[in-house]
Amino acid sequence: MVERRGDMASERMAEGMESGRPESPSRTPAGRAESQSRPPADRPENRPRPLDAIDRDILQMLQADGRASIRSVAEHVHVSRANAYARINRLIEDGVIRGFSARIDHERAGQGASAYITLKIVQNSWRTVREQLRALPEAAHIALVSGDFDVLLLVHTTDTRALRDVVLTKLQAIPEVLSTRTLLVFEEDDLDAEA
């Protein structure tokens, strides 16, 4: 259970007043209530903590090798193992690191046809469409974008016949999808692998 400092301070003040113990000169009720009874305005709980150069180096290293050991991360960024461990855990808790995954060569994995598909959708239907797109096993990336279309979808399929099925059967069956345009990928590079 996490307690906020302001709540604890208020409880201690109340206990001190109820028990008849005098407050020490450094703990005035008015000053204490003002400084600690409310959360700091400049740092709401849902706001991410700023990243420093060491955090960014850790992220870059983990993007290149998500299986890097704590020891190798610590050596790479010149901090102790305990510091590296604490920083990685904080990045995970803050949602900066959302998970660890493998980079796949889709062609070698039997998914030889990849395409970016642009979708125009009914206004205010993004959440509904996003949930239906997430359910597609072929979907690799989904983004709401600005411009001539509304959604950019990256799919990987076994071949062009399976790609045709995704576009004409699965996407066109979504009532909120007004139109699609398919851009076949001829070749791609994973830039994260270069880091």
Q: Determine the pLDDT at residue 154.
A: 96
Return phi, psi of residue 96, to 5°: -70, -45
Lowest-confidence pick of 22-31, 70-79, 138-147:
22-31
> What's the pLDDT score for residue 37?
38
Any alpha helices (H) in the chain, and if so which ranges?
Answer: 5-18, 29-36, 53-64, 70-77, 81-93, 126-134, 160-165
Mean pLDDT of the chain: 78
Residue range 66-87: mean pLDDT, rounded? 94
Report residue 181's pLDDT band, with 50, 70 and 90 as the boundaries.
very high
pTM of the model: 0.58
Same fold, 53-93 and 113-187: no
Q: Where are the domains of the chain?
A: 5-36, 53-93, 113-187
CATH 2.30.38.10, applies to 53-93: no
pLDDT digits (tens, 9 = 90+) for 84-106: 999 999 999 998 998 887 777 77
112 pLDDT band (50/70/90 cuts)?
confident
CATH of 113-187, one of 3.30.70.920, 2.40.50.140, 3.30.499.10, 3.30.200.20: 3.30.70.920
Q: Which of the two residues, 2 and 124, has the higher pLDDT score?
A: 124
β-strand partners of 184:
115
16 has a pLDDT exceeding 60: no
CB 59 within 8 A of CB 32: no
pLDDT at residue 192 in the model: 60
- Judged by DSSP in three states, 117 sits in strand
Q: What pLDDT score does 20 carry?
A: 41
